[in-house]
Amino acid sequence: MRVGWGRGFCGVVALLAGCTADTASIIPLKWQKVLDSPTGQNGSVLGPDGPGTFDEVGNFTVSAFEDGGVTYLYYGGADASGSCPGLGNAHFRIGLATSTDGVSFGRVAGTAFGGAVLDDGSPGTFDSYLTDGPYVLKDGAVYRMWYSGSDQPYQNCAAAAGQNPLADDRRIGYAESTDGVHWTKFYDGDGPGGSVLPLGAAGDIDAQQVAYARVIKDGDGYKMYYSANDVTDTWRVALAVSTDARHWTKVRGKIADGAVLDVGNPGAFDAACAYQPTVVKEQSDLYRMWYRACPSADPTVGGPSQGFIGYAESNDGVTWIKVNAGGAESEALDPGPPGEFDSGGLTSPSVFLDGATWTLYYAGFDASGRYRAGLARAPGP
């Protein structure tokens, strides 16, 4: 169990100067993991599928929402094509599982490879090797999906020992559906290869990669919180806005050369990465963000290592303040103990308010690097 802070910035301000009389009181979110799903393994709610499926090896990234009493869980699945441990150079595709109680999930068979609902792109496309990191927004009668795509594996395991570079060309793709199961990709965006978002200029926080987009509808427009990767392979959160959900304008934040959420100071639980955000606009002046946090880089490949869930708040969706969420290092949710599916770390949080309950789905990995989907809940307002 971990605690997140509620309305207002009193939790941060109190550390500096105390709260004024008209500041709203702090309402903690007491996250409790749900570890008894009959469809998961070692505390997860969804594990790998059987031989020959698109997710035979693991579920790497998740996105969830509730609609009409059904929870839709979209996730990136890894097949068995990889030649190195874990998910390093497996192919990824996107699948769907649904639940009526949010705990027991059944897969929805798609028409793509191995039961996926969204396949990799054809040779020569920016997403020909990886189609992963989905985020789905039901927007009226249209289901909109943003995903991460690459023509490289996550890790080149065939390289020389100690020289296993990570993919450095992830882009954001876009697809639409009328039923949430059958999808059509669009390659007409403003980014490389028809992807959604252009890269930044040399020296920018998103000069190397853009990925893991999370979109909310806000008034008459849309806000996209995306993960920005620079030439040092550091991941932060950046922002873009749109009026049609198809063409985007970047909005520079006030920190770290344009980020809206930066990594923490040395020694912090998010010193090495702060990305994969999920954002909920709870009230007109209260935006909540949960994000993946890494205390250090993986010494073997240089990319993110471990994983906690951090928390931040904003009153306009642009300027964010990290808030102490009650963990030992201010985090909102920790890895599990040895033996549980998420003992190695947590990634890709997906949060929504379901009636009187806050719901947080995430991907967790164990000491062997195998990923599965997990769930935590907290009392709502």
Mapped onto helix, strand or coil, the DSSP state of residue 189 is coil
Q: Work out the number of other CB atoms within 10 angstroms of the CB of residue 130.
A: 29
Confidence at 380, pLDDT banded by 50, 70, 90: confident
Mean pLDDT of 242-268: 94
Confidence at 303, pLDDT banded by 50, 70, 90: low
Query: Is residue 296's pLDDT more than 90?
Result: no
d(CA 337, CA 242) in angstroms, rounded, equals: 42
pLDDT of residue 25: 41
Percent of the chain with pLDDT over 90: 76
Please, how many CA atoms are within 13 Å of residue 158, restricted to the half-sphere of its CB?
A: 6
Residue carrying the six token digits 């790998």: 48
Query: Is residue 300's pLDDT more than 60?
Result: no
d(CA 68, CA 45) in angstroms, rounded, equals: 20
Residue carrying the six token digits 């909005």: 251
pLDDT of residue 5: 32
CA–CA distance from 70 to each of 66, 174, 178 (Å)? 6, 24, 17
Mean pLDDT of 301-316: 83
pLDDT in tens, 137-183: 999 999 999 999 999 988 777 655 555 577 789 999 999 999 999 99
pLDDT of residue 17: 32
Domains of the chain from N-terminus onward: 2-379 (2.115.10.20)
pLDDT in tens, 49-72: 999 999 999 898 999 999 999 999
User: Over the chain, what is the mean pLDDT?
Assistant: 88
Enumerate long-range contacts of 325-329, CB under 8 Å, 24 or more apart. 325/2, 325/3, 325/4, 325/5, 325/29, 326/2, 326/3, 326/4, 326/5, 326/28, 327/2, 327/3, 327/269, 329/268, 329/269, 329/295
Confidence at 192, pLDDT banded by 50, 70, 90: very high
Choose the weakest-confidence range: 52-61, 81-90, 171-180, 209-218: 81-90
pLDDT of residue 22: 35
Encoding tokens for residue 368?
Answer: 């062997």
Mean pLDDT of 348-377: 94
Closest by CA to 60, choosing from 364, 295, 376, is: 364
pLDDT in tens, 92-141: 999 999 999 999 999 999 999 999 999 999 999 999 999 999 999 999 99
d(CA 56, CA 209) in angstroms, rounded, equals: 27
Enumerate long-range contacts of 160-168, CB under 8 Å, 24 or more apart. 162/300, 164/84, 164/88, 164/300, 164/301, 165/301, 166/233, 166/301, 166/302, 166/303, 167/130, 167/209, 168/208, 168/209, 168/229, 168/233
Pairing type for strands 249-251 and 273-283 reads unpaired
d(CA 153, CA 120) in angstroms, rounded, equals: 12
Q: What is the pTM of this model?
A: 0.91
Mean pLDDT of 273-282: 96
d(CA 282, CA 101) in angstroms, rounded, equals: 23
Task: Quote the distance between the C-alpha of residue 299 and its chain's center.
Answer: 23
